[in-house]
Amino acid sequence: MAAPVNPIDIQPRQVANKSDKKRFLEAIRMTLGVQSAAIRHNTQTFNRNRYGAVARIADYDAMKDRARQTKENAIANLPELLRQLEASVRTNGGHFYLAPTAADANRYICDVLVKHAVKLVVKGKSITSEETRLNHTLEAAGIEVAESDLAEFILQVADEQPSHIIAPALHYSRERITALFKRKFQTDLPLDTGEELTRFAREILRQKFIAADAGISGCNLIAADTGSFMLVESEGNIRMTTLLPPLHIAIAGIEKVVPSRKDFQPFIELLPASATGQPLTSYVSILRPPLPAPSFAAPGKSTASREFHMVLIDNGRSAMRQDPILHEALYCIRCSACLNVCANFETVGGHAFGGETYSGGIGGSWEAGTGKLMNARFSELCTGCSRCVPQCPVRIDIPWLNQNLRQRMNQADRTSFAKSLFGSLSGSAPEDRTAPLSKQFFANYHTFGKWGSQFAGLSNSSNQLALLRKLEQDVLGVDTRRELPPFPEKTWEQLFHAEPSAVKASLPGPGVAVLADTFTNYGTPERGMAVVRVLRAIGLDVVLTQSLPDGRAAMSQGMIATARQQARALAAMLQPYLQSGRKIVVVEPSVLAMFRFDNRHLLDDVSLVTALAASSYDPLQLLWDLASEHRIDLAKLFPASRSPLGTRLFYHAHCQQRTCNASSQTIDLLRAVGFDVATSTVECCGMAGSFGYKHDYYDLSMAVGADLFAQVRAAEQDGGERVLVASGVSCHDQLGAGLGRKVRHPAEVLAGTLHG
Ligand code: SF4
Ligand code: SF4
């Protein structure tokens, strides 16, 4: 077998197209080995700033609703808006071209430049021109292209594709930029500080601005009624690009068109706040070219009126507009909030979690929509953690887009007898039986849990055999470095029926039905029993439901037909509990998120979706709410002083639990009963269900987890070890793997005080 390539020898352009799986995995190795520290620092800074900035917007939610509505209406009326825009641009004295393909756009622009005998173009703020590979076309025609944005200038020098949609060179540390400039420009000038580097680039770019015969820009938004367009930027280079040269070409996707200039309003605030956390960017330009004769011009340049061309490209967007799933991606305003909040993106950036142009969770839909489906392979790095969903200013359900892309890729995979047989035995819906064996295994974990726990002794000892683990890695993709959770001798259902309540329920009302989810039933039944005991301790009548698969695991593998089948059966099973007025307690946060957000994609009965969303609770959230409603003294019931584990805890909330707004109650409750609780601030532990178990992603998963492990160690520097507490089963596994210690559910900590 050939030795793996050293990460520093892998060039980003070589691994930009992820349709080939080997290149995709090499891209992950390259980014982990070379770029990760800079990406992590920069994205996490943007993300922190964004939390602060959006918190300062008084009507943030209403503004997001307005932005979403504007985009929805604009995409629905796009053909009419494009006709209106063409008329507006022509009335203004400009030229308008609607390019069906990237090649058409490049050809048009090249022809215009050749006609004007252009030798040098300055270009900036245009990811669309990256999509069309405009530079290649122009350079082949003998036209020099100077990227005017500092980050794009760096990438042009390095010959790399962007790794982020608003900060294309964010994977570069200052030290790497210094080394790059010294190598490429053969200079002895001091380039050791950000100021020195910027000054050096500015000197080069200023000459280009003065000498340029044409400027090419993008557009953030375009108003159909006037032909005006908005550009937001930090450096001022776009102003020079659009104002200085005698010829200006704006290139943008057709999705940038909105009805009028007043529709720019929510985006002017939402874009910078969501992107870098600034209340406003340094430069916001609203232009309606062509400019009349300018009051000044560069030496040797004409002061005649400017010429302007607007080139809008389709390149797959009309097909996206008709697509029942991908049309939502057209609402994207490319703010990058979904990139900066994403734990996987924060660790590898867009050279691994991205394609030739677009990156991050939303990037897969764009690469698939404007290119080929398999170019979106990198969207496998979306674990469905859902942290990006509330951060998106236009409320795009990014994980749902990615689950659908995954489904399409599964269905495009070749079928085989082994896959069909495995799928029919394990429980895959017929439509999903072309999915790789590894996906069908994780999607149907319920089946394996059921059989594994029936023969727990045999299953657990076989799982220790190196040969079998190797086979599992090769066939099912389960990494041998992961400890597989042992199957229990007795499932949660069995333990529950063996332990009837010792006290009569004292709280009024019909009580609760606790969902016997797959992971707790067949993985950690002691955690489930702890939940039952603490709920009973406050006087609730508790019943445990049947254990059925919930669809979460299948959905995250892109096996949506299987997920739908499972979600429907589960909802039907829960319906009588809802009808009897019981609240549904869901121990596993990823399943709670199904009830709160994802069932709307899977169930047809809207009233059932609403009822499940409204009546489902995290166990400690419910305890906290009931205690305040019924004035129950939790500190008396669960005094931390009685805990056999001690009172010092480190609590990590599950990513989807945070999205459900169901984590702060756990922290409040544990503190209220006397525990000293340190908490994590990471967006996700990196395990994300089956993601971290997969051989292909083990290294990435552990690299994501490194931040969490570091936070635990930091919290333990004063006062020594803390008991590790987490609400999600995958967080348990990840913390256990990273720190080699037992991890407990918060209900287990509380239940311990009952017997102290
Ligand atoms: S759902 Fe999670 S993993 Fe997927 S793109 Fe959003 S933040 Fe990233
Ligand atoms: S999907 Fe939403 S959060 Fe992500 S870049 Fe687009 S607008 Fe921003």
**Residue 7, Cβ neighbours under 10 Å: how many?**
16
Q: Is 99 in the pocket of ligand 2 (CB under 6 A)?
A: no
Alpha carbon of 102 to ligand 2 centroid (Å):
23
Q: How remote is the CA of residue 337 from the centroid of ligand 2, in Å?
A: 6
Task: List the residue whose alpha carbon is closest to atom 7 of ligand 1.
Answer: 342
Q: Which two tokens stand for residue 254?
A: 């057709």
Strands 283-287 and 229-233, by their bridges, are antiparallel
Residue from 47, 398, 704 to probe ligand 1 pocket by mutation (most atoms less than 8 Å from CB): 398
d(Cα 546, Cα 531) in Å, to the nearest integer? 16
Contact in structure between 522 and 450 (CB atoms under 8 Å) = yes
Residue 483 CA to ligand 2 center (angstroms) comes to 36
Burial class (CB in 10 A: 0-12, 13-18, 19+), 713: exposed
DSSP label at residue 547:
P
Dist CA 384 CA 402 (whole Å): 8
Q: Assess whether the C-beta atom of 333 lies below 6 angstroms from ligand 2.
A: yes
To test ligand 2's pocket by mutation, which of 274, 353, 358 has the most ligand atoms within 8 angstroms of CB? 274
Ligand 2 contact via 747 beta carbon (within 6 Å): no
Question: Tokens in use for 205?
Answer: 């770019």
CA of 44 to the centre of ligand 1 (A): 15
- The phi and psi torsions of 299 (rounded to 5 degrees) equal -55, 130
Residue 307 tokens, joined:
């010429």
> Token pair 């607007």 is at which residue?
310
CB 334 less than 6 A from any atom of ligand 2: yes
Q: Is the minimum distance from the CB of 344 to ligand 1 under 6 angstroms?
A: yes
Residue listed under structure tokens 């395990």: 687
Asked whether residue 751 carries a pLDDT value surpassing 50, the answer given is yes
Helix (H) or strand (E) holding 657: helix 655-659
- C-beta of 363 in contact with ligand 2 (< 6 A): no
Burial of 418 (0-12, 13-18, 19+ CB in 10 A): exposed
* d(CA 374, ligand 1 centre) in Å: 19
Protein residue closest via CA to atom 8 of ligand 2: 335
Asked whether 19 and 372 are in contact (CB, 8 A), the reply is yes
Mean pLDDT confidence for 98-114? 98
CA of 556 to the centre of ligand 1 (A): 11
Q: How far is CA 720 from the centre of its chain?
A: 35
For residue 293, pLDDT over 90 is answered with no
Distance of CA 340 from the midpoint of ligand 1 (Å): 10
> Is the CB of 377 inside a 6 Å radius of any atom of ligand 2?
no
Is residue 1 pLDDT above 70, yes or no? no
Whole-prediction pTM: 0.95
Atom of ligand 2 nearest to the CA of 339: 4
Render pLDDT for 375-432 as a digit per residue (tens, 0 to 9): 999 999 999 999 999 999 999 999 999 999 999 999 999 889 999 999 999 999 999 9
Considering only CA atoms, give the Rg of the chain: 28
Residue-by-residue DSSP string for 132-182: HTHHHHHHHTT-EEEE-SHHHHHHHHHT---SSSS-TTTT--HHHHHHHHH
Contact call for residues 394 and 71 (beta carbons, < 8 A): yes
Query: Are 522 and 491 a contacting pair, CB within 8 Å?
Result: yes
Region for residue 396 given its phi and psi (left: phi exceeds 0; alpha: psi -120 to 50; beta: otherwise): beta
Residue nearest to atom 6 of ligand 1 (CA): 388
To test the ligand 1 pocket, which listed residue (348, 381, 388, 659) has its Cβ within 8 A of the most ligand atoms? Answer: 388
Q: Taking residues 166-186, what's their average pLDDT? A: 94
Q: What is the pLDDT of residues 576-593, one digit of tens each?
A: 999 999 999 999 999 999
The CA 362 to ligand 1 mean position distance, Å, reads 9
Q: What's the rounded mean pLDDT across residues 449-453?
A: 91
* Ligand 2 centre distance from Cα of residue 353 (Å): 15
Q: Residue 220 CA: which ligand is closest?
A: 2
Q: Tell me: cis bond preceding 390? Omega within 30 of 0 counts.
A: no
User: What phi, psi does 478 have (nearest 5°)?
Assistant: -85, 120
Give the span between the Cα atoms of 418 and 416, in whole angstroms.
5
* Beta carbons of 231 and 220 less than 8 angstroms apart: yes
Please say if the pLDDT value at position 756 is more than 60. Answer: no
362 lines ligand 2 (CB under 6 A): yes
CB of 382 sitting under 6 A from ligand 1? yes
Taking the C-alpha atoms of residue 306 and residue 116, their distance in angstroms, rounded to an integer, is: 12
Beta-strand pair 247-253/229-233 = unpaired
- 487: number of Cβ within 10 Å: 22
Interval 45-100: pLDDT, tens: 999 999 999 999 999 999 999 999 999 999 999 999 999 999 999 999 999 999 99
- Residues linked to residue 513 through DSSP beta bridges, in sequence order: 543, 584
Q: Identify the residue whose C-alpha is closest to ligand 1 atom 3.
A: 382
Pocket of ligand 1 contains residue 398 by CB under 6 Å: yes
Q: What is the pLDDT of residue 4?
A: 72
> What CA–CA distances, in Å, run from 149 to 160, 202, 217, 262, 643?
14, 10, 11, 28, 58
Mutate to test the pocket of ligand 1, among 362, 387, 395, 402 (most ligand atoms within 8 A of CB): 387
pLDDT cut 90: percent of the chain above it: 88
CA 361–ligand 1 middle distance (angstroms): 6
The fraction of the chain above a pLDDT of 70, given in percent, is 99
Alpha-carbon span 413 to 559, nearest angstrom: 13
Q: Is 40 in the pocket of ligand 2 (CB under 6 A)?
A: no
Task: State how far the Cα of 528 lies from the Cα of 544, in Å rounded to an integer.
Answer: 10
Q: 227: CA distance to ligand 1 center in Å?
A: 35
Q: What is the phi-psi region of residue 489: left when phi exceeds 0, alpha when psi lies from -120 to 50, beta otherwise?
A: alpha
Q: Are 650 and 679 in contact (CB under 8 A)?
A: yes
Tell me which of 332-346, 500-514, 645-659, 699-713 is least confident: 500-514
pLDDT tier for residue 291 given thresholds of 50, 70 and 90? confident
What strands lie across the sheet with 648-652, from one edge to the other? 676-679, 648-652, 723-726, 743-744
Token pair, residue 538, equals: 């406050």
Ligand 2 pocket check: which of 46, 127, 325, 335 to mutate, most ligand atoms within 8 Å of Cβ? 335
CB 365 near ligand 2, within 6 Å:
no
> Which one has a higher pLDDT value, 150 or 2?
150
Residue 151 to residue 410: CA distance in whole angstroms: 36
Average pLDDT over residues 497-525: 92
- Taking the centre of ligand 1 as the mean of its atom positions, its distance from the CA of residue 10, in whole angstroms, is 26
Query: For residue 361, how far is its CA from the centre of ligand 2 (angstroms)?
Result: 9
> Residue 337 CA: which ligand 2 atom is closest?
3
The answer to whether 724 and 742 are in contact (CB under 8 A) is yes
Does the CB atom of residue 240 touch ligand 2 within 6 A?
no
Q: Is 332 in the pocket of ligand 2 (CB under 6 A)?
A: yes
Whole-number Å distance between alpha carbons of 561 and 602: 9
Supply the mean pLDDT for the chain.
94
Cβ(342) – ligand 1 distance below 6 Å: yes
Mention every residue, 6+ apart, whose C-beta is less than 8 A from residue 733: 482, 483, 485, 687, 692
Q: Distances from the Cα of 331 to the Cαs of 58, 255, 317, 361, in angstroms? A: 23, 7, 11, 14
| Ligand 2, atom 2, residue with closest C-alpha | 392
Half-sphere exposure of 723 (CA within 13 A, CB side): 20
pLDDT beyond 90 at 329:
yes
Angle at 608 between CA 547 and CA 432, to 5 degrees: 60
C-alpha distances (whole Å) from 394 to each of 191, 266, 662 are 40, 10, 23
* Average pLDDT score over residue span 693-708: 96
Specify the DSSP class assigned to residue 546.
Answer: P
Distance 332 CA to ligand 2 centre (A): 5
Return the best residue to mutate from 332, 341, 382, 395 for the ligand 2 pocket (most ligand atoms within 8 A of CB): 332
Beta bridge partners of 121: 145, 214
Ligand 2 centroid, distance to 331 Cα (angstroms): 8
First to last CA, the chain: 57
The pLDDT value given to residue 57 = 95
Tell me, using a 6 A CB cutoff, whether residue 50 lines ligand 2.
no
Q: How confident is the model at residue 350 (pLDDT cuts 50, 70, 90)?
A: very high
**Residue with CA nearest ligand 1 atom 5:** 361
Type of residue numbered 444? N
Cα(339) to centroid(ligand 2), Å: 8
